[in-house]
Amino acid sequence: MFTLILPELIVILTAFLILGVDLFVSEKNRVVLAPLTLVGLGAATAAIFFQMPEAGALFGGRFAVDSVTWWFKFLFILSTGITIALSLDMLDGRKVLENAQTPRLRFRGEYYTILLFTLSGMMFLVSARDLITLYVSLELATIPLFVLASWKRDGNAGEAGLKYVIMGALASALLLYGFSLLYGLTGQTDLHAISQGLTPSPLLWLAVALIVSGIGFKMTIVPFHFWAAEVYQGAPTPITAYLSVASKGAGLALMFQLFFRVFGGFFKDWQIAIAVFAALTMTLGNLGAIVQNNIKRFMAFSAISQAGYMIMGFLGPQKESIASMIFYMWVYVITNLAVFGVIIFHSNQTGKEEITDYRGLAQTNPLMALGMMLGLFGLAGIPPLSGFVGKFFLFSIASATGFHWLVAVAAVNSTISLYYYLRIVRQMYIEPPAAGAKALEVSPVLGFTVTTTVLASVALGVFPFFYNIVNAQTSGWMSLFVK
Amino acid sequence: MGENLVSFLEKTPDVSHWLVLSSLLFSIGLYGLLTRRNAVGILMSVELLLNSGALNFILFNRFISPGNIDGQVMSIFVIAIAAAEVVVGMAIFVALFQQRKTVDVTQMNMMKG
């Protein structure tokens, strides 16, 4: 039974270990902290695979493990590990070019610790089976992100942090008020008991509206997406990557918890609302991305539109919807991190973040440009890359449920998204490099990370075994909640 | 309308009175969050919002399920979370103030799309 909570325990112990070691070693020896963190993450992953066929509950049913939680937790750990790999050059000051503009990130020990705390919050969030646990773990996942987003000590980071704190606190307050109404309607805090006790009433719809706005903030669903562009721009780039993948994964996990587990009985009622949100999110996200010039803002709007595709999986009570959403989340996380790897490599070396700064990258750094192109095509969903496969599954769910208009909207949006992803490819491959541009030196860790993530993103689309495993394990999950 | 209000106020307090109080708190907090220019004032409004949620949990505990203490436990956790949120918020505002010499939210427009 104890092994059920082992991954979380390992992550939390690693966090405190890093904090302690950081206290006692000199600045020069703090290089050791990153490998230590990665060892901890590896151990947590091993613990997840060790528990894999086992499912069960702890603490009187307030903490539970099942087939869906394994894949979410593994995803969170993996994205944290890749984020750490992406941050290494900025934290350890392994600058290759002398004239690099980006200032070094300071306070390595605290950085890893806080990253691990938010990871543990996300892992508890997937396993929570009680309103109290759910809310506390959600805040544990969110509050450290405020700190990380304003890590750099410049005006932009502070502005990003201010906006993030205010919007995040508002979202969490709305969610809390919605939770309190759910508690008032049923007198229960256990999620299963709440779903049994709910009956349709105006108060229930108020509670759902409040909860949706709280989740919409986490998932960056239009119209709750306003914070994203500014926060993504002001945060350190590895944290931007982390926000766009892990934080969004936590939002999806929260939607799984609430929409399936609690509101599963009212599936027919919220289905149409999800369809409208999905259409709005992908359209406005795409239209926003077209006009951006800063690459991080661009990725923010791209991430918003991806959230629109992702929630299409909530439309149908198909056997495959769970597996499709988890699979698309995996594909999105790995592909997005590959793209961010190249962005971090470029901004580390040049200190520039405009899209036009990528001109001629294919001539100076052909391999990095190739990785970026494959990543962007994966996000746009060009076959045979994994983004296409993931989108295909999601579209087929919407279509099987009868939302043909949404499939048409999504297809048009995919075309729009191809246009703006191609803007960057055009800069890299068609525009000539700036006069006197030299090849940028690739640091080993970034080269390795980009290579593995790009290969993984291609492999996920070509080889079906990963989807098959997830599908086999999760196909019966949804029928527990949605009738 | 006026007579309804008077009779409502003269009744002994029950769940509806408390709900009115908590929704008033929530509305004041939301109004403050949208209108205050100083970021510290906004944090205070956030406190009101969170406290109205905590108050809801306590009063539902008292009137809906008096047998258990789940709502009270939740309200204690909410207080702790609100404290954590404010600590992080204030730290960020102090760091921002050192850079910009202001925490007026209408001045926060350095990043443009």
CB contact under 8 A, B92 and A165: yes
CB contact under 8 A, B60 and A162: no
Rounded Cα distance, A340 and A467, in Å: 24
ipTM: 0.94
CB contact under 8 A, A153 and B74: no
DSSP state of A63: E
Which H/E stretch holds residue A107? Answer: none
CB contact under 8 A, A187 and B96: no
Identify which of A131, A147, A154 has the shortest CB distance to residue B74: A131
Contact (CB, 8 A) for A291 and A444: no
| pLDDT, position A153 | 82
- Percentage helix, strand, coil for chain B under 3-state DSSP, each rounded to 5: 80, 0, 20
Q: Does A132 touch chain B (CB under 8 A)?
A: yes
Identify which of A150, A180, A233 has the shortest CB distance to residue B53: A180
Give B96's contacts in chain A (Cβ within 8 Å): 150, 155, 158-159, 161-162
Query: Looking at chain B, which residue has its C-alpha nearest residue A161?
Result: B92
For residue A68, give both structure tokens.
Answer: 């869906």
Q: Does B39 touch chain A (CB under 8 A)?
A: yes
The pLDDT of residue B1 is above 70: no
Query: Looking at chain A, which residue has its C-alpha nearest residue B78?
Result: A136
CB contact under 8 A, A180 and B50: no
Report pLDDT digits (tens) over B50-87.
999 999 999 999 998 888 899 999 999 999 999 999 99
CB contact under 8 A, B29 and A163: no
CB contact under 8 A, A159 and B92: no
Q: Does A230 touch chain B (CB under 8 A)?
A: yes
Cis amide linkage into residue A236, ω under 30° from 0: no
Per-residue pLDDT in tens (0 to 9) along chain A, 483 residues = 778 889 999 999 999 999 999 999 888 888 889 999 999 999 999 999 888 777 888 888 889 888 889 999 999 999 999 999 999 888 876 654 455 556 678 888 999 999 999 999 999 999 999 999 999 999 999 999 999 999 988 878 889 999 999 999 999 999 999 999 999 999 889 999 999 888 889 999 999 999 999 999 999 998 898 899 999 999 999 999 999 999 899 999 999 999 888 988 888 888 899 999 999 999 999 999 999 999 999 999 999 999 999 999 888 777 888 899 999 999 999 999 999 999 999 988 888 889 998 998 899 999 999 999 999 999 998 888 888 999 999 999 999 988 999 999 999 999 999 999 999 999 999 988 888 788 888 888 899 999 999 999 999 888 888 888 888 888 878 777 776
Q: Does A46 touch chain B (CB under 8 A)?
A: no
Give A179's contacts in chain B (Cβ within 8 Å): 53
Identify which of B71, B77, B110 has the shortest CB distance to residue A155: B110
Give the residue from B19, B24, B81 with the most A CB atoms within 10 Å of its CB, the best one to mutate.
Answer: B81
| pLDDT, position A473 | 85
* Chain B nearest CA to A370, separation (Å): 27
Query: Looking at chain B, which residue has its C-alpha nearest residue A139?
Result: B81
CB contact under 8 A, A162 and B96: yes
Q: What is this structure's pTM? A: 0.93
Backbone angles phi, psi at B111, to 5 degrees: -95, 125
| pLDDT, position B55 | 94
Q: Does A252 touch chain B (CB under 8 A)?
A: no
| pLDDT, position A96 | 47
CB contact under 8 A, B88 and A139: no
CB contact under 8 A, A135 and B73: no
Beta bridge partners of A63: A58, A128
Q: Does A436 touch chain B (CB under 8 A)?
A: no
Q: Which of residues 296-325 of A touch B (CB under 8 A)?
A: 297
| pLDDT, position B38 | 92
Rounded Cα distance, A126 and A72, in Å: 7
**Amino acid code (one letter) for A436:** G
**Amino acid code (one letter) for A138:** L
Strands A56-58, A63-65: pairing is antiparallel
CB contact under 8 A, A173 and B49: yes
| pLDDT, position A101 | 57
Rounded Cα distance, A307 and A324, in Å: 14
Report pLDDT digits (tens) over A98-128.
555 566 788 889 999 999 999 999 999 999 9
| pLDDT, position A50 | 87
Give A177's contacts in chain B (Cβ within 8 Å): 26, 49, 52-53, 56
| pLDDT, position A239 | 94
Whole-number Cα distances in Å, B104 to A230, A467, B101: 17, 49, 9
Give B104's contacts in chain A (Cβ within 8 Å): none
Domains belonging to chain B, first-starting first, are 2-104 (1.10.287.3510)
CB contact under 8 A, A165 and B88: yes
| pLDDT, position B109 | 80
Give A158's contacts in chain B (Cβ within 8 Å): 92, 95-96, 99-100
DSSP state of A115: H
Task: Please say whether the dihedral angle defined by the alpha carbons of residues A142, A239, A467 and A324, taken in this order, is positive or negative.
Answer: positive
Identify which of B64, B77, B91 has the shortest CB distance to residue A132: B77
CB contact under 8 A, A187 and B64: yes
Q: Does B79 touch chain A (CB under 8 A)?
A: no
CB contact under 8 A, A165 and B74: no
Query: Looking at chain A, which residue has its C-alpha nearest residue B108?
Result: A159
Which residues make Cβ contacts (< 8 Å) with residue A145, sequence separation at least 6?
A118, A164, A168, A239, A242, A243, A247
